[in-house]
Amino acid sequence: MDAISWWCSGTLGQPWTWQYRPLVGVWLLAAALGGAYALAARRHHAEAGEVAPATRHYAVRFAAGLALLVVSSEWPLGPLGAGYLASVAALRTLLLTFGVAPLLLVGTPPWMLRSLLRVRPGSDGPNPVLRAVQVLTFPWVAFLLFNVLLIVTQLPPVVDALKVTQLGSFALDLTWLAASVIVWVPLVRPIPELGGLGDPMRLLYLFGLSVLPTVPASFLTFSRFPLYRLYELAPRVFDSLDPVVDQQIAGLGLKIGGGIILWTVMGVLFFRWAAREQPETVPAVTWPQFERDLERFDLRSHRERPPS
């Protein structure tokens, strides 16, 4: 039982081993989120009297988000990213940002979001919970908050101080996951009460997200010495991978991997927008219909008209 931890954390001086070590906290968090989701869905279905097919689709997406949360936080990615390899930490950041967060968001039905935000139909009274979330998910507030947290959570003093403890590492992961959910709300537009961006502004929003994160990624990529004491002093997982190369891989992964994902999303949104803006195609005209139109508007030549 001594080998069991509740969350991943940096372990200075302890050599890496490929022996499986479960992280109980990861499974407890996934079970708590899944259990609360199932309980709320069951209560809602009991009140509604049936299970709509669309609700099942939401549940599949939410379950996929929980599964990816476990994969990205459990052994081996969790411990490797927390205390051994900066490149794996960057991979976990990408998984949480572009996988776990959007899947959990699009997997939560509108009625469940309204219940969490205490939105009641026909209620005009003050709702501080909804108001606070509206402020946090306002597009440019979410954009600024996400990028500030991206920089702060990548600062060497923050990483070296927090990742060496299970509580600190958990706080970093939870903070980053919350920031990722917030930044996706203006793009997903889950419920009208939270607003969102139109198609042109969504493209601009995504473009900004693809540009600003390159700043901290560039520091990791072009630095000639290790920035993180945690990863510099960690025992080598692979003898051929020194801390500087590992750090450069982390920077390139954040820059290129995140850029590819964001530009792919931009491409999909652009072509969907273009398809919606395209005028409807003119229906094909058959020859009999063409002749009827000629007769209707008296456009046939005099030679073809019968004698009066």
Would residue 137 count as lying in a domain? Answer: yes
- Between residues 257 and 50, the one the model is more confident about: 257
CB 71 within 8 Å of CB 77: yes
245 belongs to a structural domain: yes
Tell me: the pLDDT tens digits for 49-86?
Answer: 655 555 789 999 999 999 999 999 999 999 999 999 99
Residue 83 lies in a domain: yes
Whether residue 221 lies inside any domain: the answer is yes
Total number of domains in the chain? 1
| pLDDT at 30 > cutoff 50 | yes
Q: Look up residue 10 and give its amino acid.
A: G
Which band of pLDDT confidence, cut at 50, 70 and 90, is reported for residue 139? very high
d(CA 108, CA 196) in angstroms, rounded, equals 17
Considering the domain boundaries, does residue 113 fall inside one? yes
For 172-182, the pLDDT digits (tens) are 999 999 999 99
User: What global pTM score does this model have?
Assistant: 0.85
- Tell me the residue type at 222: F
Domain that holds residue 263: 24-304
Amino acid at 44: H
The pLDDT tens digits for 220-229 are 999 899 999 9
5/166 Cα distance (integer angstroms): 8
285 within a domain of the structure (yes/no): yes
d(CA 232, CA 156): 11
13 in any annotated domain: no
Return contacts of 267-276, CB within 8 angstroms, 24+ apart: 269/199, 269/202, 269/203, 269/206, 270/203, 272/199, 273/199, 273/200, 273/203, 276/199
CA angle 205, 223, 254 (to 5 degrees): 30
Q: What is the pLDDT of residue 303?
A: 47
Name the DSSP class of 257. Answer: I
Residue 19 lies in a domain: no
Confidence of residue 250 (pLDDT cuts 50, 70, 90): very high
Q: What type of residue sits at position 252? A: L
Average pLDDT, the chain: 87
Per-residue pLDDT at 298 = 62
Decide if pLDDT at 12 tops 80.
no
Task: Give me the amino acid identity at 40.
Answer: A
pLDDT at 282 exceeding the cut of 70: no
> 5 pairs with which residues across the strands?
23
Q: 281: helix, coil or strand?
A: coil
